[in-house]
Chain A
Amino acid sequence: MNSEHRRIVLVLIALCIVFTGLIGYMSYFQAFKAEAIKMNSYNKRLWINEENILRGSILDRNGKILVYSEKHDETMRRYYKYGSLYSHIIGYSYREYGKAGLELSFNNYLLNINDNSALDELINIVAPRTIGNNLELTIDHGTQERARNLLKGRKGSVVAMNPKTGEVYAMVSLPDFDVSTLRDDWGIISEDPNSPLLNRATQGLYTPGSVFKVITTAAILNTPGINQEYLCKGTTTIDGYPFKDYQNKAHGELNLKNALAYSCNTYFTEKALAVGENKLRETAEGFMFNNNIPFDLPVKSSSYPKGNIGDTDLAASGIGQGKVLTTPLNMAMVASAIANNGEVVKPILVNQVVSSTGKLVKSFNTETLSQGIDSMKAAEIKEMMIEVVKKGTGKNSSIKNVQVAGKTGTAENPSGKSHAWFIGFAPAEDPKIAIAVVLEEDGSTGGSSAAPIARDLIIYGLNNIKF
């Protein structure tokens, strides 16, 4: 081969390399980048449906309309009737700012489109759809409103749900934002240091503090042969690190029931060591820690430390401190599980999807996610939680004529003031409502500030929700 031929072949090879490179890049683009690019709100394909389809309404469990759309001379307008009340549940749908909440996760139902398949497009050409489906929520509008009023002025979250079916009656996260004026306030909202866009109920990770003792209690009951008695001196030292009771108060001779009622820290740190790292972690995981909770909105997983943790960390975990983190939704599910014979049910926010003509499109049924603890032991824990309300730290949640079972928590927070917690359910003999309240960096004790909120909401809920 002479030099001319050699050079010709070189040029050919160069061109072929470039062609192959283009093919390679295209495949890479399609496999890894296309999905994100497709979802850019400037992609008109995403909105072509929205402009022609009347987006469905969203109703509460009693058929009260919360959000609806209307058509005004060829343009669709969406009306958020309750401003900020549903900012974290329903979310928003704006062309400029995208979608959030149920507006995002149920977008295809609201527009009555199925995943944009080619077949779907074909059907759309033959018989274009113009009206979307409506969502019927499990939310009780009155309870939601009351929950927000009770929490008003503070940071934190309230979740109220049915412990047996998983229906969420109220889910509030403060601070929130007004969805109806989002267009004007976007700059302020998105840069607010208090992050009003964050749904604290599902995505706020908090140190649980003493409400976690419910899980430690379950772990103790799950450990055969453990000594449930303990002499509390108000303080104990583990691996050189001191654990103290609230105001260094010594509780004296304690059994498990009293230890939970008085929320004795030294008891639960010592017993966490006796239970051992694996047992406590497995029990926590049974209550969905380190697990994804399937829900209609995005949920952050609660975390319980994995791997070889030292005695100090294990003891801290036993009282819900240290590296243990959880969401209000998850803690409401823990309370629900105790109320529901140990079964952890999947929380649901959307009861059913109904077409504009009233036909049922899809309904969502109760699902069991896990057996947190067996039903006998769940009943034992329930008795203890009743004791918490009767004579322990949870007295402020007690209601005349209705027996409440609960647990308070005051979680030390390394980055600020302590979080006040309450989890519980009522009526204890036939639980209808389970609740979790967290007041973020409130500085008060759970018993003094969170328990009364739970009490008021339970009273309202039992009197007004159509179960």
Chain B
Amino acid sequence: MLKNDISNRSPRNLLFLFEILSLSLVFLYDWGSVDRATYITAIGLVIIIYLSNFILNKISKGDSYIFLIVTMLVSIGVIMVYRIDSQLGMKQLLWLSLGILIFYLTYFVLKFIRGWKNWIPLYLGLSYLLFFLTFLLGKRKYGAINWITIGGHSFQPAEITKILLIFIIAAYYSNPEKFSKYKYAPYYIMGIVYSFIALLFLQRDLGTALIFYAIFLAIQFIYEDRRILILYNIILFAAGGILGYVVFDHVKIRVLTWIDPWSYIDNKGYQITQSLFAIASGGFFGTGLGLGHPEFIPLSYTDFIFSAICEEMGLFTGIGVIMLFMILVYRGFKIALNQTHKFYRILALGVSILFGIQSIIILGGVLKVLPLTGITLPFVSYGGTSILSSFIALGILQVASEDIDTREEAE
């Protein structure tokens, strides 16, 4: 405990310093319109992050770095969102505070309630219910029907289904004795995952579909004893992808604008080329906070937040963000390797792969390394559901980093 506290103190203070400095820059940029609400926002950010890092160390005996890494990412995100749109920045701070609360809530709920690995039907039911609600109440936003609005707040159900998927997969692979009596069990689980992917495809939420697939494939690769299934999985997905390309125009457009966005620069390739302009304009050190023009990028506060960061904070901050994700994923895998309880081990893997794949897909997208699919950069992009679900996932990882009492639930 004591050792933990010492090793954690210095990065915590560095983070504190980073926030103070970058917030001063934001104020300098926005000198005329700095009002009381802004000060409160800023002080709020610093205090929330400092305190929650401090408190977590007292409560949890587990990994003390993942939360620190995430708060660094969140700080960069909030500052960037605030700089793009101060209204959104303040809202994002509210979401962040809520996210941290949810993090602690997840942590305690997961820690003190047992039997999570036995409730597959519940997760399945919830997942399909969320899909059903999306189709029933869904609104088309940026080409995808993945938002529903409840009481004035829009909400993205797939963000929650992501977590449920990890629970389903973890529960399945941690109960081999329970499922091995069914000959076709591995096919059922594959069928379930593919039904999710197909539903997401119908909602035109390709990015999330890709995340689902990647999480499933990775865990299947690690735990599936019938190795031939992995091959089936890959072939099936490739066939589905090709079919999607041929049948659906919106898939074709994404691929075409990925290969050559410059030919479609004033219509379909507009977003990605604006993103490349922003990154190119930033250079190695960036234009400086408030001195670039991220407002030229559509959705610069959500999907394209990374381009905005690169423009104003430079390539080196961009690399820093990627490395933070890399360390986060590394810590997640390390937690999994140290976890003796299989269910929690798979949960930790699922969450780490989720963080890794989701950031890779959107980072690759805005850099034009991968076709662009509209998903958020976890912890950095603006967006309530994204922040909340990411903090739930982080809460899961925090629990998984602790010693789980395995006596009552022996493997």
Are both chains from one complex? yes
Binding site for B on A (CB under 8 A): 4-5, 7-12, 15-16, 18-23, 25-27, 29-30, 33-35, 37-38, 40, 42-45, 48, 118, 121-122, 125
- Complex Cα spacing A176 to B35, Å: 59
Known: A22-B369, A26-B367. A43 touches B281 (CB 8 A): yes
B296 at the interface (CB under 8 A from A): yes
Contact of B222 among A11, A26, A121 (CB under 8 A): A11
Task: Give chain B residues whose Cβ lies under 8 Å from the Cβ of A34.
Answer: 279-281, 283
Interface of B is mostly: helix
Interface of A is mostly: helix
- Complex Cα spacing A43 to B336, Å: 45
CB distance from A364 to the nearest CB of B (A): 30
- Complex Cα spacing A16 to B330, Å: 8
Highest count of chain A CB atoms <10 Å: which of B265, B266, B280: B280
B304 at the interface (CB under 8 A from A): no
Task: Give chain B residues whose Cβ lies under 8 Å from the Cβ of A16.
Answer: 326, 329-330
Task: Give chain A residues whose Cβ lies under 8 Å from the Cβ of B291.
Answer: 118, 121-122, 125
- Complex Cα spacing A122 to B326, Å: 34
- B293-352 residues with Cβ-Cβ distance < 8 A to A are 293, 296, 310, 315, 318-319, 322-323, 325-326, 329-330, 333, 336-337, 349
Contact A23 B319 (CB under 8 A): yes
CB distance from A406 to the nearest CB of B (A): 51
Q: A34-B280, A118-B291 are in contact. List 15 more A-B contacts (CB 8 A).
A: A4-B223, A7-B221, A8-B222, A15-B356, A18-B360, A19-B323, A19-B325, A19-B360, A23-B322, A30-B315, A42-B265, A43-B281, A44-B293, A48-B293, A118-B288
Task: Give chain A residues whose Cβ lies under 8 Å from the Cβ of B29.
Answer: 125
Contact A26 B287 (CB under 8 A): no
Contact A23 B353 (CB under 8 A): no
Contact of A27 among B276, B315, B326 (CB under 8 A): B315
Contact A40 B277 (CB under 8 A): yes
Known: A8-B333, A25-B367. A19 touches B296 (CB 8 A): no
B80 at the interface (CB under 8 A from A): no
Known: A12-B329, A37-B280. A44 touches B319 (CB 8 A): no
CB distance from A452 to the nearest CB of B (A): 51
Known: A7-B222, A11-B222, A11-B353. A22 touches B266 (CB 8 A): no
- The 8 A-B residue pairs with the shortest CB-CB distance, nearest first, are A34-B280, A7-B222, A12-B333, A19-B326, A43-B277, A37-B280, A38-B280, A15-B356
Contact A29 B222 (CB under 8 A): no
Task: Give chain A residues whose Cβ lies under 8 Å from the Cβ of B364.
Answer: 22
Contact A26 B319 (CB under 8 A): yes
CB-nearest residue of chain A relative to B363? Answer: A22
B273 at the interface (CB under 8 A from A): yes
Contact B326 A45 (CB under 8 A): no
CB distance from B356 to the nearest CB of A (A): 5
B126 at the interface (CB under 8 A from A): no
> 10 interchain pairs (CB within 8 A)?
A7-B221, A16-B329, A16-B330, A22-B364, A30-B284, A38-B280, A42-B265, A42-B273, A44-B293, A48-B293
CB-nearest residue of chain A relative to B334? Answer: A12
Contact of B349 among A8, A23, A33, A38 (CB under 8 A): A8
Contact B287 A121 (CB under 8 A): yes
Task: Give chain A residues whose Cβ lies under 8 Å from the Cβ of B336.
Answer: 8
Highest count of chain A CB atoms <10 Å: which of B273, B315, B357: B315
CB distance from B58 to the nearest CB of A (A): 30
Contact B323 A23 (CB under 8 A): yes
Highest count of chain B CB atoms <10 Å: which of A12, A29, A37, A40: A12
Task: Give chain A residues whose Cβ lies under 8 Å from the Cβ of B277.
Answer: 37-38, 40, 42-45
CB-nearest residue of chain A relative to B342? Answer: A4
B218 at the interface (CB under 8 A from A): yes
Known: A30-B315, A38-B280. A25 touches B369 (CB 8 A): yes
Task: Give chain A residues whose Cβ lies under 8 Å from the Cβ of B353.
Answer: 11, 15
CB distance from B98 to the nearest CB of A (A): 29
Contact A26 B318 (CB under 8 A): yes
- Complex Cα spacing A27 to B280, Å: 11
Contact B315 A15 (CB under 8 A): no
Known: A19-B326, A23-B322. A29 touches B293 (CB 8 A): no
- Complex Cα spacing A19 to B323, Å: 8
- Complex Cα spacing A226 to B49, Å: 88
- Complex Cα spacing A106 to B126, Å: 65
CB-nearest residue of chain B relative to A24? Answer: B319
Known: A11-B222, A15-B329, A15-B360. A45 touches B367 (CB 8 A): no
- Complex Cα spacing A241 to B279, Å: 60
CB distance from A73 to the nearest CB of B (A): 23
CB-nearest residue of chain B relative to A118? Answer: B288
- B133-175 residues with Cβ-Cβ distance < 8 A to A are none
Contact A45 B222 (CB under 8 A): no
- Complex Cα spacing A10 to B315, Å: 29
Highest count of chain A CB atoms <10 Å: which of B293, B349, B356: B356
CB distance from B258 to the nearest CB of A (A): 14
Contact A121 B288 (CB under 8 A): yes
* Contact bitstring B202-242, A, C-beta under 8 A = 1, else 0: 00000000000000001001110000000000000000000
- Complex Cα spacing A322 to B262, Å: 43
CB distance from A22 to the nearest CB of B (A): 6
- Complex Cα spacing A21 to B369, Å: 10
Task: Give chain A residues whose Cβ lies under 8 Å from the Cβ of B326.
Answer: 15-16, 19-20
Task: Give chain A residues whose Cβ lies under 8 Å from the Cβ of B356.
Answer: 15, 19
Task: Give chain B residues whose Cβ lies under 8 Å from the Cβ of A20.
Answer: 326
Contact of B315 among A26, A40, A44, A118 (CB under 8 A): A26
CB-nearest residue of chain A relative to B290? Answer: A125
CB-nearest residue of chain A relative to B218? Answer: A11
CB-nearest residue of chain B relative to A14? Answer: B218
- Complex Cα spacing A304 to B369, Å: 46
CB distance from A23 to the nearest CB of B (A): 5
CB-nearest residue of chain B relative to A41? Answer: B265
CB-nearest residue of chain A relative to B270? Answer: A42
CB distance from B134 to the nearest CB of A (A): 29
- Complex Cα spacing A11 to B334, Å: 12
Task: Give chain B residues whose Cβ lies under 8 Å from the Cβ of A37.
Answer: 276-277, 280
- Complex Cα spacing A7 to B280, Å: 38
CB distance from A51 to the nearest CB of B (A): 12
Task: Give chain B residues whose Cβ lies under 8 Å from the Cβ of A38.
Answer: 277, 280-281
Known: A23-B322, A29-B367. A4 touches B280 (CB 8 A): no
Task: Give chain A residues whose Cβ lies under 8 Å from the Cβ of B222.
Answer: 4, 7-8, 11
Task: Give chain B residues whose Cβ lies under 8 Å from the Cβ of A42.
Answer: 265-266, 273, 277
Task: Give chain B residues whose Cβ lies under 8 Å from the Cβ of A27.
Answer: 315, 319
CB-nearest residue of chain B relative to A124? Answer: B291
CB-nearest residue of chain B relative to A122? Answer: B291
CB distance from B215 to the nearest CB of A (A): 11
- Complex Cα spacing A23 to B359, Å: 13
Task: Give chain B residues whose Cβ lies under 8 Å from the Cβ of A29.
Answer: 279-280, 367
Task: Give chain B residues whose Cβ lies under 8 Å from the Cβ of A8.
Answer: 222, 333, 336-337, 349
